[in-house]
Structure 1
């Protein structure tokens, strides 16, 4: 789900304590009879796993060993700083015409013929083909900002990678790709390396 993915991608740390079933065999509660809660930093994550850095105190109190499994209760702590930085960047813009052009200058001519049908990957659907044509359109063609929306797995990164690959067929083009997570950036780089035809020249892609 979308909110679950936000928590998974945006969590910078977690609060944890031993689950009820583990407390019976674990250490005594902390001061005041309350269960002790520990904070752990998120080191790395993948779609299936999250690696946490536990404090020495946590490992000792919970009697953790390499061969022992322990059930815990977790509370994810979101890092809101990236969202605050993005909002601040928008608030600091002196000229918003790049993001919000005047309506008379943003008419989208259809169909866009910046690339022929034969140049497009057969796996693209009709809307994705229009998006690729719009991204790869000549700079002389005044177009509004393009926003690709869709649930996970709908082909947003795939469409963007193919469009960037078409732009890079022209040696004069320079493309800057930004992502809000390391995993998203790695996915973009991998798609560019595997999907771009002809393949990118050595040294033309910087991460």
Structure 2
């Protein structure tokens, strides 16, 4: 049984993360293309890190890249690959009303609760001007003001995403290497703003995500 559990978890790391990771890569590439000032600032951090590592990126150096983390976090905020998650109630709980016209909501053991991650991440009460792509929401000062439980791209608690660290590592490695050599640019087919379809269980755009790649030019 232990061997089967280990095998199942190993498979969930790889197969469960393919769609979600590719979704984040697509949306982050799009945001960098339409926000060149953010892309340039991230490239400056990448170039500095590359020089400090003498061309050999290390795990520790990647983890110290604060702006990279901010850009990835904001992508996960605006475009969460899993728009919702669910939990099963394990003990009776009552959610009190917040407005006069509302009634208490009683949850019973065994009931499933759906948590709207996309709704939380795009709620102006928690993230002012939520349609704006702003990595500064996650700088050292501002991220301390984000209420607990409203930024949950990987879920939270003991049932959060088991592959979150691996997914973040893949995303950061991809953009480190791509942005070290290329610029993400808008092309004729790039839509701004993107239009999402109103069906499905993941974020799907009506006409896809289209950006271009341009080799970087370096000054001597």
Give the structure with the larger helix fraction.
2
TM over 0.5: no
The structure that has the greater radius of gyration is 1
TM-score (norm 1): 0.23
Structure showing greater relative contact order (alpha-carbon pairs closer than 8 Å, 6 or more residues apart): 2
TM-score (norm 2): 0.22
